[in-house]
Structure 1
Amino acid sequence: MIDTKEEPLAVPVYCYSYYRISSPSQAKGGGIMRQVEAAEKTCDENGWTMDTSFHLTDIGISAYHSKNLDDRAALGGFIKAAESGLIKLPAVLLVESLDRLSRANIMDALELFIRILNLGISIYTHYDRIHYSKESIQANFGPLLISITIMCRAHEESLIKSARTKAGWQQMVERMKAGGVGRKSIYPPWITIENGKPEIIKSEARIVREIFDLCIEQNMSYSAIGRQLREKYDRNYTGSMLGKIFHKKRALGIFSPSDIEEIQAYPAIVSEDIFYTAQARIKERLNTGVGRGTKKINFFKTKLRCSECGTAMRMNRSNTSSTYVCRRKQELRDCSQSSKLEVGSFQSILLYALSLVGTDDLIGKSSSDKLQKLGKALAVEQAKLDEKRQRIKNLAELVAAGSKTGASMVMKTESEIQEIEVSITALQSELDRLQSPSLPRNVQYIFQFNRRYSLGEVTKADQEPFVNALRKVVDRIVINSPVAAEQRTLVDIHLVSGVQVSIVVLKDYTAEILKDGTRIGRHIMMKK
């Protein structure tokens, strides 16, 4: 007699391999590659199925301070996914050693270890070939004692290393206080210690002194200074780099090992008078707008976008003029945007265009019919939400019984609930906007601002109120490259109400304003 019984299909075990190194420099030494090769070999030997849908690599993230458990870290994200039911089971988390998971104190490390096992995920360490699982530890607690010993040792090693690092840092600080030399990494680019003492690199120091001069004597912004240095020296000085030069005391030769301690560690390259004058000039320019005039105040910040790359159009200031240019094109030079717009003239055009648009278009025709439609749509979505939530409750018993199908249905329904909630939020936001008593006031403020701007009566103090009013009415203003030789730029103003206004700006800043393809106005720049 032939046995026709089929052998049961083997259930695949899904393997998730986690790699971690403490610093990026360890990657150069092959730390990650060593772990990857060992993981692949272990996976093959055990017949596990490697699931690479999760990128489980943490580089330069501390396990001593449990930073690798943050949601943004690979391990933290994996655990969150497992808690949400997104990890295929049965599963094994493959690590080189338990110290890859945690180097925290034993109570926190053990809590993490047990937390992973309780999620139905076993842990395999390919360094010592130990396989930890909830079932095996319940049957024999010996491996648990081994894991506790390993985690204790890992924490002690990190504790000793941390203490040594702090002691080494403090010894360096004391040595520098006595006139000695510190680590190379603490010195700015214009200082060298190759000869055993801090010395000024004259060519580098000259550039830094020029930066201070451009700020104080020519009242240049960070972007203007960065542009001039790039053109003159082919150096890329970002706003962040310039901010450190102006606001940290490195140009005065001061090293700050802590927030309350300062050491005169190397020669100064500018005087205190120059350093603090630059800070005062920056504060004056940013906070008071003195000497700018309306042409140098960005009243449309956050709203201007480049159509080519989608990044913001930035305002560049100089003594002679201020212009709007694409931020990406200026910094990375990989955008094809060709529009370059004089701020004063362009802001006049935008304000004039907004003044031509009717109040109904700016606000949105809040007729009772539209409000009724929104209310009806909101009621429909709310009914859908109630139905989906009830469905979740009905599936609860199925999930409690261990049904994988039930769990899958719950996840799908929860995803549908999230989509409905997003729709409800958008509908409610539009309903609130149309019913808001402040909306007409914002529109009226924009109209009044246009009149004051044309008379030259607005100041820096008007910037924030105008930007806040504009935010309620304008969604975005898209700057397009010109398509004809006589054009300077093409503009699309997208209103929150859904209405779109287009502007064709010519070389002389004459502008045609259109709505629905029909011209509604023409802006002509007055010659001064």
Structure 2
Amino acid sequence: MTTAYSYIRFSTPEQSKGDSHRRQQQKAKEYALQHNILLDENLTFRDLGRSAFRGGHAEVGKLGEFILAIDEGLVKPGDYLLIENLDRLSRQAITDAFDLLRAICNRGVNVVTFSDGKIYNRESLNDPINMLTAIILFSRSHEESATKGKRVKEAWDIKRKNIKNKPLTSKVPGWIEYDKAAGKLNLIDDRVKIVRRIFTEYIEGKGQTAISRGLNNDQVPCWGTGEQQAANWYDSYITKILDNEAVIGVFRPHVFDFSTGKKKRVPTGQMIPDYYPSVLDTETFYRVRELRDQRNTMKGRKATQQLQNIFSMVAKCPHCGGKLIRVNKGKRSTYLVCSFAKLGATVEAGHKYCSGGYQSIPLGKIESRFIDAVKSGQFFIPVDGSKISEIQEKIDKNNRDKQDRQTGLSKIVNAILEGSLTNKSVMHYDVPRADGTIKNWTVEDEREILEQGIKGIEIENRNNQSDLEVLRPRIIEKKLLELKHAVSRDVVNYEQANSVLRALCESIVIRRDEKTIIFKFNHTERLLILNW
């Protein structure tokens, strides 16, 4: 008995929620019943959510399998392929669409469009009228799809041009929400903390497995809603967050490419800095990227080594002051480049940019020159007590401020104990607040601001005291000796050497044009310059 097979196709997955699928399936059943043909529902070929305009369904979808089934003898000559309209078969260019129809008919299979009951086969396609009818239908459907595609593309082009004023799409990373009414992108505070935690833990030496395990142990909820919300954090999602430039505000426009027959997102145009609200500074992001590159390439014993760039987080661009980051250009060729230049930001876009442009500085040459200078004693720190005096003055001033605040706080506490004041007593009327409101300033407000000020001074003085200890001559000599040990080993201890440099140096400016390394130290205004 002759058998019929249905081919159901609609353009987008969203259409499966509507009537398209049910309608096509029902009409196939009705046609088979009316013409006394057996409808094989076990071998129904459905390309759910594939667009016939791109032709992907013929190459990789069920229609390709149907042609293969004919060649294998599973579908026999004389059988029927039931479709709603010819545009369901293909909306490609006329020649491609007609070749697909002819390929099926030449294999002896009848193609039926049950919307008009027309049958296409090898014999009918030899009729000029039938051939012309098919060509006209294919032409019309292709033009409709092409026009629709052009309009959609134009709409997206307009959106991209207006991207500074309005977000391009409501699809955003998990730590951001789109306020449609205001047309703004806002950070989700609790998720921002998770992103920062992930980056911090990675820099501290944890891998994706340890990070995801920690989040799961702490019962941190996964992002997403409904079926899109995972039950647990996984390594793959941690990796996506670590690689996502959206954390530093960068947006990369993409388009869909169908050249391979598959739908694939590919970058288009320039990246857009400051599109998203930033979660991290660029230096932290590129520090993690540097660590990821190193961990991915290091094996065995070296896998525990954290850095392969002595100047990490301390080397600066001479043109814009941005951090110089390590990039790997293959074949063990590593360079330092400005983080802002790498972002591709431009002054026209109103972003911080690098006037020097993208310049590659050979990291190997710079490090070799520095290591030779450390070993030979050419790397030294000029003695200058000006920085020490400056920090000591800050400590003394902070101590005086702390004493004044403590005195004020004591007076308030004594007045409360005596009963002349309460926490609700008004000290000043109609005081503007940070949230925009205007309220009376009470004793409780005054106590809180004094206590916070004292705590802030104590923290600042602890930091100043640590800086002071580092700058004392005996400590500096100890640090220089530690640095020499780190670079004199058979395998340079980059982590230790970088730690010493960050303690000693305010910045290291590397100039490619002059071939110089300029060291600016924390404890003195005097510079040390090395040629390379």
Question: In the alignment, which residue of structure 2 is the partner of 1:175?
Answer: 162
Match of 1:165 among 152, 159, 162: 152
Q: Does structure 1 conserve the Cα–Cα contact (< 8 Å) formed by 2:5 and 2:44?
A: no
Q: Deviations over 1:417-451 (max 9, x none)?
A: xxxxxxxxxxxxxxxxxxxxxxxxxxxxxxxxxxx
Question: In the alignment, which residue of structure 2 is the partner of 1:110?
Answer: 98
Question: In the alignment, which residue of structure 2 is the partner of 1:460?
Answer: none
Q: Aligned partner of 2:298: which letter? A: T
Q: Deviations over 1:90-112 (max 9, x none)?
A: 21100011111111100100111
Question: In the alignment, which residue of structure 2 is the partner of 1:261?
Answer: 270
Which of the two has higher C-alpha Rg?
2
Question: In the alignment, which residue of structure 2 is the partner of 1:226?
Answer: 212
Q: Does structure 1 conserve the Cα–Cα contact (< 8 Å) formed by 2:77 and 2:107?
A: no
Q: Does structure 2 conserve the Cα–Cα contact (< 8 Å) formed by 1:192 and 1:201?
A: no
Question: In the alignment, which residue of structure 1 is the partner of 2:57?
Answer: 68
Question: In the alignment, which residue of structure 2 is the partner of 1:130?
Answer: 118
Q: Does structure 2 conserve the Cα–Cα contact (< 8 Å) formed by 1:188 and 1:250?
A: no
Post-superposition offset of 1:188: 4.5
Question: In the alignment, which residue of structure 1 is the partner of 2:73?
Answer: 85
Q: Does structure 2 conserve the Cα–Cα contact (< 8 Å) formed by 1:105 and 1:152?
A: yes
Q: Does structure 2 conserve the Cα–Cα contact (< 8 Å) formed by 1:14 and 1:92?
A: yes
Structure 1 residues 291 and 273, CA gap change in structure 2 (3 angstroms): farther
Within 2, Cα distance between the matches of 1:42 and 1:255?
51
Within 2, Cα distance between the matches of 1:248 and 1:134?
54
Within 2, Cα distance between the matches of 1:173 and 1:87?
48
Q: Does structure 2 conserve the Cα–Cα contact (< 8 Å) formed by 1:215 and 1:282?
A: no
Q: Does structure 1 conserve the Cα–Cα contact (< 8 Å) formed by 2:82 and 2:114?
A: yes
Question: In the alignment, which residue of structure 1 is the partner of 2:238?
Answer: 242
Match of 1:50 among 39, 48, 52: 39
Match of 1:215 among 202, 205, 215: 202
Post-superposition offset of 1:64: 1.4
Counterparts of 1:232-311 in structure 2, within 5 Å, are: 232=218, 233-235=220-222, 236-257=232-253, 258-263=267-272, 264-289=274-299
Question: In the alignment, which residue of structure 1 is the partner of 2:7?
Answer: 18
Question: In the alignment, which residue of structure 1 is the partner of 2:170?
Answer: 184
- Whether 1:147 aligns to 2:134 is yes
Q: Deviations over 1:349-390 (max 9, x none)?
A: xxxxxxxxxxxxxxxxxxxxxxxxxxxxxxxxxxxxxxxxxx
Counterparts of 1:333-372 in structure 2, within 5 Å, are: none
Q: Deviations over 1:203-231 (max 9, x none)?
A: 221111111112112x2222222222223
Post-superposition offset of 1:30: 2.7
Post-superposition offset of 1:80: 1.5
Within 1, Cα distance between the matches of 2:58 and 2:202?
44
Q: Does structure 1 conserve the Cα–Cα contact (< 8 Å) formed by 2:45 and 2:66?
A: yes
Q: Does structure 2 conserve the Cα–Cα contact (< 8 Å) formed by 1:13 and 1:89?
A: no
Within 2, Cα distance between the matches of 1:155 and 1:17?
22
Within 1, Cα distance between the matches of 2:103 and 2:146?
24
SS across alignment from 2:112:
strand
Aligned-CA RMSD value: 2.3
Q: Aligned partner of 1:152: which letter? A: S
SS across alignment from 2:252:
strand
Q: Aligned partner of 2:4: which letter? A: C
Post-superposition offset of 1:164: 1.3
Post-superposition offset of 1:293: 6.8
SS across alignment from 2:123:
helix
Gaps of 5+ in 2: 223-231, 254-266, 305-532
Match of 1:156 among 143, 148, 152: 143
Question: In the alignment, which residue of structure 1 is the partner of 2:27?
Answer: 38
Q: Deviations over 1:99-146 (max 9, x none)?
A: 1111110010011111111000011111222111222343x4322221
Within 1, Cα distance between the matches of 2:149 and 2:130?
29
SS across alignment from 2:278:
coil
Within 1, Cα distance between the matches of 2:188 and 2:286?
23
Post-superposition offset of 1:248: 2.7
Q: Does structure 2 conserve the Cα–Cα contact (< 8 Å) formed by 1:54 and 1:78?
A: no
**Range with greater deviation from structure 2 (161-170 or 219-228):** 219-228
SS across alignment from 2:171:
helix
SS across alignment from 2:277:
coil
Counterparts of 1:409-448 in structure 2, within 5 Å, are: none
SS across alignment from 1:184:
coil
% same residue? 30
Structure 1 residues 33 and 292, CA gap change in structure 2 (3 angstroms): farther
Total equivalences in the alignment? 281
Structure 1 residues 290 and 180, CA gap change in structure 2 (3 angstroms): farther
SS across alignment from 2:110:
strand
Within 2, Cα distance between the matches of 1:189 and 1:145?
55
- Whether 1:204 aligns to 2:191 is yes
Within 2, Cα distance between the matches of 1:128 and 1:189?
52
Post-superposition offset of 1:291: 6.9
Within 2, Cα distance between the matches of 1:154 and 1:167?
20
Q: Does structure 2 conserve the Cα–Cα contact (< 8 Å) formed by 1:179 and 1:265?
A: no
Post-superposition offset of 1:269: 0.7
Q: Aligned partner of 1:29: which letter? A: G
Q: TM-score, normalised by structure 1?
A: 0.50
Structure 1 residues 292 and 33, CA gap change in structure 2 (3 angstroms): farther
Q: Aligned partner of 1:133: which letter? A: N
Q: Does structure 1 conserve the Cα–Cα contact (< 8 Å) formed by 2:76 and 2:108?
A: no
Within 1, Cα distance between the matches of 2:144 and 2:217?
51
Q: Does structure 1 conserve the Cα–Cα contact (< 8 Å) formed by 2:55 and 2:92?
A: yes
Q: Aligned partner of 1:153: which letter? A: R
SS across alignment from 2:251:
strand
Within 1, Cα distance between the matches of 2:236 and 2:155?
29
Q: Does structure 2 conserve the Cα–Cα contact (< 8 Å) formed by 1:284 and 1:290?
A: no
Question: In the alignment, which residue of structure 2 is the partner of 1:413?
Answer: none
Q: TM-score, normalised by structure 2?
A: 0.50
Within 1, Cα distance between the matches of 2:212 and 2:238?
8
Structure 1 residues 166 and 293, CA gap change in structure 2 (3 angstroms): closer
Question: In the alignment, which residue of structure 2 is the partner of 1:458?
Answer: none
Post-superposition offset of 1:290: 7.8
Question: In the alignment, which residue of structure 2 is the partner of 1:445?
Answer: none
Counterparts of 1:317-336 in structure 2, within 5 Å, are: none
